[in-house]
C-alpha cells in the first residue's frame, strides 16, 4: 500500500511537472508594480532567456511554470529597474579613481582621506579634488610637509573645489621641475620663507598637471566597472551617458563582448567632428546592452555660475544675461546634419529660458511639426511661459533632474527673480506638454541614488527635508508619474520602451527588489527605501 502511494504520488508529480513549462527564474509572493499602461500590480513573474515570459498571480505562475531558480520575495516590492535618463556614467567612474575631498572640514581630514584612498589604490598618481580652506577652522592654505612625509615616492596633486588652486607634494613638484622663486604668467607658485609650500595657483597647476600620464585602457575599464558596481547597488539597470567620445564607446563594446560590463547604456556622443563622422559612417549602434544614436550639444552653461543664457538680466547681477556657447548657425548646421540620419537624435543642454527658446526654435525649424524624432532638451531648467507649448508642438522631450530643483532652490530665486522662477524646474508643466517625461540625476553633479530623485519629484524637498511645504509644489509629480519617469518614460526617451521600462511579457527581466513599498510609504519614510537586489536580464547583479 505504502509502495503504491509513493508510486501514485510520483506519477501525479511527474504528470504535473510534465505540464509545467520550464523557465530560468520565477519570482513570487511580491508586490510587483508592472508599470504597464494601466499601472497594474501583480504578485509574480517568470523569466526565460533574460526576458519576462509571464506575469500574474503567484498561484498561477507557480502552477504553470517550473524554474531552475525560484525566489520567494517575502511580500517585498518589485519595480522595473531604474533608468537614469541623464548622467555621466564614465565620468562618475573616473571620479571614483580620485580622492573626493568635497565637504572636508580640515587639512587633517584630507590627509586621512588620502591615506585611506592610497591603501585601496596603490599605484600611480594620487589625485584629489574638492577641498576648500574656507570650510576649515584655520582658513589658510595648507603646506605640503605631511604629504611629503606620507608619500615621498608617490606624486600627489589635490585640487581646490573651484579648480583655481591646488596643493602638490615634493615628488610631484620635482617631476614638473617646479622651483621656489620661479615665476609664470597667469599663475603663482606659493613660497613661504623661501620654501615651496606646494600650493599652486591657476596656471601654475598646469605645470604639475601636464606631468600626469594619460589614462590607460586599464584605468578606463576600472572606471566603468566601479561605476557599474555602485549603480547596480542603487537599483539602476540602464544609464544614459550624456556625452562620450566614440573611443569610449568602442571600449564599452569590448567590455560587453567579454561580459565584464553588464550595465545597459544609452550613449550620447559628444559634440565634435570626429564623433559625428564616426556615427554617421557607422550608423546606429544597437545591442541588448548598448544603444548609440544621439549627440549631446551644449546651448549654455549653468545657473550657479551665471552662465545660463536668460531672456532677462540676472536678478543678482545687473545687465548680465549669460550667453549661448556657440552661434546659432553652428547649431542649425549640426542639427540639420543629424536630422538627415534616420532615427538619430539631438540632445541639447539648455538651462536658461533664452537658451531653451533658441533651441526649441532651431529644433522647430528642422522638425517642422508633429514627429517621432524624440529630440531632447537636457535640463529644460528655466522655460518662459510662452515657450512651454513648443515642446508639444515639435514633440521635443524635456529631460529633467528633480534633485537639481532641490539643490538649486536655495538660490535659484535670487538669480532668476520671482517671475522667471515660476517657469523653473517646472516638471509638471513640462510633463503636460507631451504626456510623458524622462527623469534623471546628472550624476556625479548630484548623488547617483534614484530614491532621492523619487523623493525630490514627489515631495520637492531635499534630504534635509527642506522646505517644509515643498518647493513650488504646483510642479510636483505624482508617485505614479515619477515611477514612470524613472522607468518606462526614460526608456521611451531612448527609443527603448518596447524592450524595457516595465515588467511585461517580452521585455528584458530588469527589475529591483525594494525594502519597502515606495508607492505607499509615508513621505517621511521614502528616503529610508533601500534596494535589496538588482537583476539585469534575469541575472542577479546586486
Q: Which residues bind Zn ion (CB under 5 A)?
A: 242, 442
> 200: number of CA atoms within 13 Å, CB side?
29
Closest CB to Zn ion among 80 and 485? 485
Which 8-state DSSP code applies to residue 214? P
State in angstroms the smallest separation of the CB of 55 from Zn ion: 35
CB 298 within 8 A of CB 349: yes
Phi (first) and psi of residue 296, to 5 degrees: -105, 120
Phi (first) and psi of residue 363, to 5 degrees: -55, -45
Closest CB to Zn ion among 110 and 439? 439
Closest CB to Zn ion among 296 and 492? 296
Cell of 148: 611629503
Using CA atoms, how far residue 507 sits from 32, 51, 53, 337, 497, in Å, is 15, 5, 8, 33, 9
Closest CB to Zn ion among 305 and 370? 305
State in angstroms the smallest separation of the CB of 460 from Zn ion: 21
State in angstroms the smallest separation of the CB of 299 from Zn ion: 13
State the greatest distance between any 2 C-alpha atoms of the chain, in Å, as a whole number: 102
**In terms of C-beta density within 10 A (0-12 exposed, 13-18 middle, 19 or more buried), how is residue 6 classed?**
exposed
State in angstroms the smallest separation of the CB of 494 from Zn ion: 15
Closest CB to Zn ion among 27 and 223? 223
Distance CA 512, CA 193 (A): 60
In 10 A of CB 157, how many CB atoms?
A: 25
Closest CB to Zn ion among 242 and 324? 242
Alpha-carbon dihedral sign for residues 504, 294, 303, 201: positive
CB 91 within 8 A of CB 220: no
Describe the chain by its helix, strand, coil percentages, rounded to 5: 35, 25, 40
State in angstroms the smallest separation of the CB of 366 from Zn ion: 23
Question: Which residue has its beta carbon closest to Zn ion?
Answer: 442
Using CA atoms, how far residue 336 sits from 332, 346, 398, in Å, is 6, 10, 20
State in angstroms the smallest separation of the CB of 401 from Zn ion: 8
Closest CB to Zn ion among 381 and 534? 381
Closest CB to Zn ion among 126 and 249? 249
State in angstroms the smallest separation of the CB of 349 from Zn ion: 7
Distance CA 190, CA 180 (A): 8
Cis peptide before 467 (omega within 30 of 0): yes
Closest CB to Zn ion among 189 and 347? 347
Closest CB to Zn ion among 165 and 242? 242
Closest CB to Zn ion among 442 and 462? 442
State in angstroms the smallest separation of the CB of 526 from Zn ion: 25
Distance CA 106, CA 109 (A): 5
**Length, in residues, of the chain:** 542
Distance CA 297, CA 348 (A): 5
CB 309 within 8 A of CB 322: yes
- Give the distance, in angstroms, between the CA of residue 324 and the centroid of all CA atoms in the same chain: 24
Using CA atoms, how far residue 351 sits from 209, 379, 380, in Å, is 31, 6, 6
CB 65 within 8 A of CB 20: yes
Angle CA(155)–CA(159)–CA(160) in degrees, nearest 5? 150
Closest CB to Zn ion among 242 and 397? 242
Closest CB to Zn ion among 150 and 445? 445
In 10 A of CB 423, how many CB atoms?
A: 22
Distance CA 298, CA 324 (A): 8
Closest CB to Zn ion among 242 and 382? 242
Q: Where are the beta strands (DSSP E) in 169-224?
A: 187-192, 195-202
CB 314 within 8 A of CB 322: yes
Smallest CA-to-CA distance from 374 within 310, 300, 291 is with: 291
Amino acid at each position: 500500500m505504502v509502495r503504491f502511494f509513493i508510486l501514485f504520488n510520483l506519477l501525479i508529480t511527474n504528470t504535473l511537472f510534465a505540464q509545467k513549462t520550464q523557465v530560468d527564474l520565477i519570482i513570487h509572493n511580491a508586490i510587483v508594480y508592472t508599470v504597464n499602461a494601466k499601472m497594474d500590480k501583480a504578485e509574480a513573474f517568470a523569466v526565460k532567456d533574460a526576458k519576462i515570459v509571464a506575469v500574474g498571480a503567484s498561484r498561477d505562475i507557480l502552477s504553470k511554470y517550473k524554474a531552475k531558480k525560484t525566489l520567494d520575495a517575502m511580500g517585498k516590492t518589485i519595480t522595473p529597474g531604474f533608468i537614469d535618463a541623464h548622467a555621466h556614467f564614465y565620468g562618475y567612474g573616473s571620479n571614483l579613481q580620485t580622492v573626493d575631498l568635497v565637504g572636508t572640514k580640515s587639512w587633517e581630514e584630507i590627509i586621512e582621506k588620502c591615506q585611506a584612498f592610497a591603501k585601496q589604490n596603490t599605484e600611480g598618481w594620487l589625485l584629489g579634488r574638492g577641498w576648500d580652506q574656507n570650510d576649515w577652522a584655520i582658513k589658510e592654505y595648507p603646506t605640503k610637509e605631511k604629504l611629503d612625509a606620507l608619500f615621498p615616492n608617490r606624486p600627489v596633486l589635490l585640487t581646490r573645489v573651484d579648480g583655481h588652486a591646488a596643493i602638490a607634494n615634493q615628488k610631484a613638484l620635482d617631476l614638473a621641475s617646479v622651483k621656489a622663486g620661479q615665476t609664470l604668467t597667469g599663475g603663482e607658485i606659493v613660497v613661504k620663507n623661501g620654501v615651496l609650500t606646494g600650493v599652486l595657483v591657476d596656471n601654475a597647476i598646469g605645470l604639475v598637471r601636464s606631468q600626469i600620464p594619460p589614462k590607460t585602457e586599464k584605468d578606463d575599464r576600472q572606471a566603468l566597472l566601479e561605476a557599474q558596481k555602485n549603480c547596480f547597488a542603487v537599483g539602476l539597470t540602464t544609464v544614459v551617458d550624456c556625452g562620450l567620445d566614440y573611443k569610449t564607446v568602442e571600449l564599452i563594446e569590448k567590455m560587453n563582448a567579454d561580459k565584464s560590463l553588464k550595465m545597459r547604456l544609452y550613449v550620447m556622443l559628444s559634440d565634435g567632428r570626429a564623433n559625428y563622422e564616426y556615427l554617421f559612417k557607422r550608423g546606429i549602434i544597437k545591442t541588448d546592452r548598448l544603444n548609440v544614436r544621439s549627440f549631446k550639444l551644449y546651448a549654455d552653461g549653468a545657473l550657479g555660475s551665471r552662465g545660463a543664457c536668460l531672456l532677462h538680466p540676472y536678478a543678482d547681477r545687473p545687465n548680465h544675461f549669460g550667453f549661448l556657447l556657440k552661434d546659432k548657425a553652428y547649431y542649425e548646421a549640426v542639427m540639420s546634419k543629424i536630422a538627415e540620419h534616420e532615427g538619430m537624435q539631438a540632445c541639447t543642454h539648455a538651462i536658461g529660458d533664452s537658451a531653451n527658446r533658441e533651441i526649441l526654435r532651431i529644433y522647430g525649424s528642422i522638425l517642422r511639426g508633429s514627429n517621432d524624432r524624440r529630440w531632447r532638451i537636457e535640463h529644460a531648467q528655466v522655460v518662459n511661459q510662452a515657450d512651454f507649448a513648443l515642446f508639444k508642438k515639435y514633440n521635443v522631450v524635456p529631460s529633467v533632474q528633480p534633485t537639481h530643483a532641490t539643490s538649486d532652490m536655495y538660490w535659484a530665486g535670487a538669480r532668476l527673480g520671482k517671475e522667471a522662477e515660476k517657469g523653473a524646474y517646472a516638471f509638471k508643466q513640462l510633463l503636460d506638454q507631451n504626456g510623458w517625461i524622462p527623469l534623471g540625476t546628472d550624476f556625479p553633479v548630484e548623488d547617483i541614488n534614484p530614491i532621492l530623485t523619487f523623493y525630490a519629484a514627489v515631495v520637492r524637498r531635499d534630504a534635509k527635508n527642506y522646505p517644509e511645504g515643498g518647493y513650488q509644489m504646483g510642479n510636483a509629480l505624482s508617485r505614479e508619474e515619477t515611477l514612470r519617469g524613472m522607468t518606462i518614460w526614460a526608456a521611451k526617451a531612448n527609443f527603448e520602451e518596447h524592450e524595457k521600462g516595465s515588467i511585461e511579457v517580452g521585455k528584458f527581466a530588469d527589475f529591483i527588489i525594494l525594502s519597502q513599498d515606495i508607492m505607499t510609504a509615508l513621505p517621511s519614510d521614502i528616503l529610508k527605501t533601500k534596494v535589496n537586489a538588482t537583476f539585469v536580464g534575469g541575472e542577479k547583479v546586486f
